[in-house]
Amino acid sequence: MKHSCVNLLSLSVFLSLLMAVNGCQQTEEQKSGEYAPERNNAELSATDLHFSNDLLDSIELTEIEAESAEIQNPDHIHVLVNDDHVLPDSYTPDDLTVPDVRFSFDEELDRRLMREEAAEALEQLFRAADAAEQELFAVSGYRSYERQEQLFTAAVNEHGEETARETSAAPGSSEHQTGLAMDVSSRSNDLLLNTDFADTDEGQWVEEHAHEHGFVIRYPEGEEDLTGITFEPWHLRYVGEDAAEELDNSGLTLEELIEKTREYQDGPG
């Protein structure tokens, strides 16, 4: 969770409990499934992960500066952003625009913004939701490095560094800085960003249909070890329709797609 607009303390307590419970269940599921994700991506082998060669050919790998983990090509729509792949503090996408969708607030704030391609896809997603009588609200999109720094510092001051790192993204490691992410909610969830959204009609519709418009639920339940972020059913990340489709079908994460691409593009030797 990395949002100041929710009650971080109660949320983090709730999530800790949730993770304690789900952690055990997930281990059982992963043991019984044919695919068992490993925290160490180097251990993933080609046979564990299934993506089409067309997709793997189409991805431009996220390149990082080894010493700083700073991303060198942040404009690519498949860019991987996490604690090990950090956006430059100077990075601001140059095609930010306001999608024509329903927002949870009236003010003209930066958090309305998304990159052009993602904004168009979000408009499609919202139109499809409207047609299915699911009223979605956009809550939080683009967030600058400086804004993330303020939020993270506030979280550290309030809860200490350890808890802050679990519940809030450090500056540079938030996907919101890419302009490719949007948090969504519904009236049925009081427009809040919390895991209850997953149980609403709107949240279930999003889970089923987001990929049709190029979005994935970037931080799925039970994948905290891979993504570093607890379950966020409200956080939609634009990756384009092809990647979204295959991530949805496989149930794999962007971390795994990028790792697989690296193996594939590097070739067998």
Please give the residue ranges that form the binding site for Zn ion (CB under 5 A): 183, 235
Closest to Zn ion by CB, 63 or 221? 221
Q: Which helix (H) or strand (E) holds 261?
A: helix 254-266
Q: With contact defined as beta carbons under 8 Å apart, do 154 and 124 qualify? A: no
- The one-letter amino acid code at 151 reads L
**Residue facing Zn ion at closest CB distance:** 235
Which residue, 183 or 255, is less far from Zn ion as judged by CB? 183
Q: What is the DSSP letter of 236?
A: E
For 137, 147, 250, the CA distances from 183, given in Å and listed in that order, are 9, 16, 23
Q: How far is the CB of 100 from Zn ion (least distance, A)?
A: 20
Which tokens in the block code for residue 17?
A: 């409990």
CB of 197 to Zn ion, least distance (A): 12
User: C-beta of 38: minimal distance to Zn ion in Å?
Assistant: 26
Classify the phi-psi angles of 86: left when phi > 0, otherwise alpha if psi is within -120 to 50, otherwise beta.
beta
Considering the complex, what minimum distance in angstroms separates the CB of residue 230 from Zn ion?
A: 12
Which C-beta is closer to Zn ion: that of 186 or that of 261?
A: 186
| Nearest residue (CB) to Zn ion, 218 versus 260 | 218
Give the separation between CA 47 and CA 102, rounded to whole angstroms.
43
Nearer to Zn ion by C-beta: 141 or 240? 141
Backbone φ and ψ of 96, nearest 5°: -70, 140
Cβ of residue 23: shortest distance to Zn ion, in angstroms?
A: 22
